[in-house]
Amino acid sequence: MIARQGGIKLNPELFKQLPINHVSNYRAVGGGDINEAYELDDQDGARYFLLIQPNHSKDFFQHEVTGLQLISQTVLTPKVLDWGTFGSDAYLLLNYINHQPAGDQYEMGKQLATLHKRRSPNKQYGFNEDFTMGTYTANNSWRPDWESFFVDQRLEDLKRLIRDRGLWTPEMEVLYARAIKVFKRLMNAYHPIPSLLHGDLWSGNFMFNPDGHPVFIDPAVFYGDREFDLGITHVFGGFNADFYKGYNDEYPLEKGSDNRIPFYQLYYLMFHLSQFGAGYQGSVLQMLALCAEK
């Protein structure tokens, strides 16, 4: 018999096609805003993490699988055990990471910096596949310059989504136009090397294993300005001074980073406005004003 917590809609028939000897217990756990998530136990005491995306094919998890397999060559990640389609739903099976709330942030900063030392194979910005988060699909078509990639394939696409939701205001448009001029001016003196990025590095996308070592999860990889990842780390907190010291000890940031990083914070706040609504309008407006004054 399989033990489970009440109220879970997961169909246990899925377990028959997973590479698990026998699932003895399962329970719903937090898995972010996009997927349903479950913790599974087998009869030998091993634990697994199962993500399910309703009404999608296997391709839904393609980019996450690609990203985990790519960054795992440099940093610690969960291991991809299986992914596929069950009925009308996509699923992804990972090994479960026993974790604790705190660990070595200095090491985490150094590991991120080491990841950023990995270069684009064609010296361009982008990736060989797009990825989707909610209703936003990130266009990763290769570009030879970072300025056009970031403006055209990140900010402009998000602005369209926000406008379609009726949340883009005339005040935002005025500040946005000024901010883009500032960004282009800053890029005249800064030419970032296209680095391998995690792509979605907020505080919910790392953990620490029982030894205190950092484990990176849920990547949305592409090759871009390494300051993009650092900008995201500043939006919701969770990264302390040791993290940034570890990063800079391993791979020091270039002059002027304090002026550029807010544009990557703007990207992440615009993404949240596009997905989660008016609660983020004030934050986007505030960040637009900051970027427009650089």
- Please identify every residue annotated as catalytic: 200
Of the candidates 209, 236, 218, 181, the residue with the CA atom closest to the CA atom of residue 66: 218
- Surface-to-core class of residue 292, CB atoms within 10 Å of its CB (0-12 exposed, 13-18 middle, 19+ buried): middle
Please report, in angstroms and rounded to a whole number, the separation of the first and last CA atoms in the chain: 62
- Residue 252 and residue 245: Cα distance in Å, rounded? 9
- Residue 231 and residue 271: Cα distance in Å, rounded? 13
Query: Which residues 6+ apart lie within 8 Å of 223 measured at CB?
Result: 119, 120, 124, 125, 126, 127, 194, 195, 196, 197
